[in-house]
Homo-oligomer: A and B are copies of this chain.
């Protein structure tokens, strides 16, 4: 794959560009972005080799769609209209059912592979792009059987070169599970940040008393609202379900405290300590 187009040169698109270039020095990486300043930044940071436009896509070997998920479902059909039969088009969004639905009937559906690399940081934009972001990370691929064999193969080679392990899921299961392990974490973090900011008008108090525990728990509250708002919108039903369960668990914890039932408080924490084993599995 020589002719690579990255649509959305932010954290994920930019990091992919950097690694693809490292792995294939002969590749030509073209960037497309509605934000002209980001495009210039990506060029000067040598994340992309040149700026491009949608009209150039007919020569693409690979198109990576790395824009917020609301933009992605609007852009993907247009991209598929423009590419040639041999072009692989992948997206990297955090919701998979809406994008799969958006192109289910598209003539070039078989050029598209729906993916979700579980990688990232709380930062965004081209400056946030880093080498090696995908090393040893999981990439979830949805509806793999809808993509032509040849392009499946190309994609798997690409992900293998990036150091990723692959898991296959259907888009509905993906969106349901990811609501728990990713989307809910972001809301719990944002609301924790909000609660503390609201209360502590005198920020020096936070500044002086907050330790690494607080920092770790609110880290995701630095995330981009432009990226996350459409994710919550597209995964509304699943996210609301996780929020209901989370709120109920918090209420129950509070009720145990109000009833001075600290042996239950102990049990709640003891049982959840089991998360250690699960997290050890992640690393």
Q: Which chain A residues have a beta carbon within 8 Å of chain B's beta carbons?
A: 118-122, 137-138, 140, 167, 174, 177-178, 180-182, 184-200, 203, 205-223, 225-226, 228-230, 232-233, 236, 239-240, 242-247, 249-251, 253-254, 257-258, 260, 262, 265-276, 278-279, 281-282
Contact = CB atoms under 8 A, between A and B. Distances in A.
A273 B214 contact: no
A266 B188 contact: no
A191 B250 contact: yes
Contact of A185 (B214, B251, B268): B214
A184 B195 contact: yes
Contacts of A246: 191-192, 195, 250
Q: Which 8 interchain pairs have the tightest Cβ spacing?
A: A225-B269, A193-B275, A118-B211, A185-B217, A207-B281, A181-B210, A193-B272, A191-B249
Contacts of A247: 247, 250-251, 254
For the complex formed by this chain, how many copies does it contain in all?
2
B208 A167 contact: yes
Contact of A207 (B186, B197, B208, B278): B278
Contacts of A188: 188, 192, 217, 250
A208 B141 CA distance: 12
